[in-house]
């Protein structure tokens, strides 16, 4: 596996977004053994078609009519767990989208800042999933009982995960864990994006986040002086400030400071200052030397793993 990955090369392309839906759809066409642990790993450094219209050659989504959200739900029904590996920092504005895809199937999002560790991520992720799969099989009756009780009481997903984690702790059951610092699913991914049934809903929610993340990848500096048109009767009442350009008939000048991170100027457009968007926790918040993806043996089931078990159980019932 490692040797094969080291020989892979990327080439071709066109616009920024990638054929994410097509790649996921191909997973469904593979021949999976019925009782095997099924895991698929999607590696991406760009959004899918139909998410962010900026620079998208197919802004309405996959030209083949495939929908990532419908596909990952089909994957979940077939017990296929999806790991999404986001190449950071390019994927940062779209991280929550990829988190939501993994979350729907009970998988993980893995931030990738060092390509040399990719083989380690793949092997570690597979071993952790096999470990969780065996755990679920051995404790199926206990999980069923606890989950049915939780659903009857109407508790939320977080409480369900706590109860499942406590169940395994009380039985002294352990699993393998891949050290995945910075990969925890965000609240936005779990409680909002993962509820979308199709890319149209996802696009609406993504664009509703103000301002759209793509705007911050087009840096422009506003000129220090902006000419603001005013009625000619006021032209002589508004003398230019020091060092401003000489006034023209029917216009006054207002001195402005350069504004970082604004959209490139368009004819007739005005400038406004924008605040950087707030993203979920990312691997850039973690020291690089901590991103080792080591496989830890004989670990207690974490709440993050328990939350994934809850998601898998709900997919299978």
pLDDT at 234: 40
DSSP symbols for 31-60: ---TTSPEEEEEEESSPBTTT--TT-S-TT
Higher per-residue pLDDT: 315 or 198: 198
Residues 288-312 have pLDDT tens digits of: 556 778 888 999 999 999 999 999 9
pLDDT at 7: 83
Lookup: tokens for 68: 């990532």
Residues 207-227 have pLDDT tens digits of: 887 564 444 444 433 344 444
- For residues 217-241, give the mean pLDDT: 43
Question: Environment class of residue 115 by beta-carbon count within 10 Å: exposed (0-12), middle (13-18) or buried (19+)?
Answer: exposed
pLDDT above 80 for 271 = no
- Beta strand extents in 145-294 (DSSP E only): 174-178, 225-229, 251-255
Distance, in Å, from the CA atom of 60 to the CA atom of 49, rounded to the nearest integer, reads 7
b/e map 231-262, b = 16+ CB within 10 Å? eeeeeeeeeeeeeeeeeeeebbbeeeeeeebb
Residues 168-179 have pLDDT tens digits of: 999 999 999 998
pLDDT at 289: 54
């Amino acid at each position: 596996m490692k040797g094969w990955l080291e020989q892979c090369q990327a080439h071709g392309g066109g616009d920024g977004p990638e054929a994410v839906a097509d790649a996921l759809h191909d997973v469904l066409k593979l021949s999976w053994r019925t009782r095997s642990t099924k895991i698929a790993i999607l590696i991406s450094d760009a959004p899918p078609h139909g998410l962010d219209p900026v620079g998208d050659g197919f802004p309405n989504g996959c030209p083949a009519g495939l929908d990532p959200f419908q596909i990952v739900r089909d994957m979940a029904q077939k017990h296929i767990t999806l790991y999404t590996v986001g190449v950071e920092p390019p994927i940062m504005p779209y991280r929550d989208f990829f988190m939501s895809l993994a979350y729907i199937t009970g998988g993980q999002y893995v931030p990738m800042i060092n390509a040399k560790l990719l083989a380690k991520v793949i092997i570690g992720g597979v071993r952790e999933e096999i470990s969780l799969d065996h755990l679920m099989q051995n404790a199926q009756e206990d999980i069923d009982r606890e989950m049915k009780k939780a659903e009857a009481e109407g508790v939320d997903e977080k409480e369900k995960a706590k109860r499942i984690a406590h169940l395994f702790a009380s039985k002294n059951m352990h699993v393998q864990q891949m050290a995945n610092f910075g990969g925890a699913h965000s609240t936005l991914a779990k409680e909002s994006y993962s509820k979308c049934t199709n890319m149209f809903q996802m696009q609406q929610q993504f664009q509703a986040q103000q301002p759209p993340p793509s705007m911050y990848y087009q840096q422009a500096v506003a000129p220090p002086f902006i000419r603001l048109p005013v009625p000619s009767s006021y032209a002589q009442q508004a003398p230019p400030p020091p060092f401003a350009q000489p006034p023209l008939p029917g216009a006054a000048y207002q001195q402005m400071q350069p504004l970082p991170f604004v959209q490139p100027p368009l004819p007739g457009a005005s400038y406004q200052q924008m605040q950087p968007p707030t993203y979920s926790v990312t691997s850039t918040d973690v020291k690089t030397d901590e991103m080792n993806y080591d496989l830890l043996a004989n670990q207690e089931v974490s709440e993050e793993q328990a939350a994934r078990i809850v998601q898998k159980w709900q997919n299978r019932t």
